[in-house]
Structure 1
Amino acid sequence: MNTTDSLEAWVTFRLDVLKGLNTEALASAHLIREIHVLKTVSQIMSWPELEQQFKELSEV
């Protein structure tokens, strides 16, 4: 597994964890920052499938 695959796996894992949280938890400042960082990494790495999942998460 190369670095890019490892990074994508980590972002995917964290996204799955975030999806399991309720709306109140997602509103916490720490998680808002984490979502922003993960979303930015997904955009930089050009992972459109993850970008779509972040869009769905932000609609919650």
Structure 2
Amino acid sequence: MCIPVYSLAVHDAHDLVRRFAAVLNNRDADPLPFWLDEFSDSGLARERVLAPTDHHA
């Protein structure tokens, strides 16, 4: 079965969000630097998926 590219991006974003939630739920900041590196490397930081920058009031 071929998975569309956008599905992989959604899967990756979902995985990152779930792992970030685990960091918060566990109240353990030790994994945060690794998570930040993975987030940065994922390309999602460059996308406007998680934090759009143009807000219109």
User: TM-score under structure 2 normalisation?
Assistant: 0.46
Task: Report which of the two structures shows the higher radius of gyration computed on alpha carbons.
Answer: 2
Which structure ranks higher in relative contact order (CA pairs < 8 Å, sequence separation ≥ 6)? Answer: 1
Q: Which has the higher helix share?
A: 1
TM-score, normalised via structure 1 length:
0.45
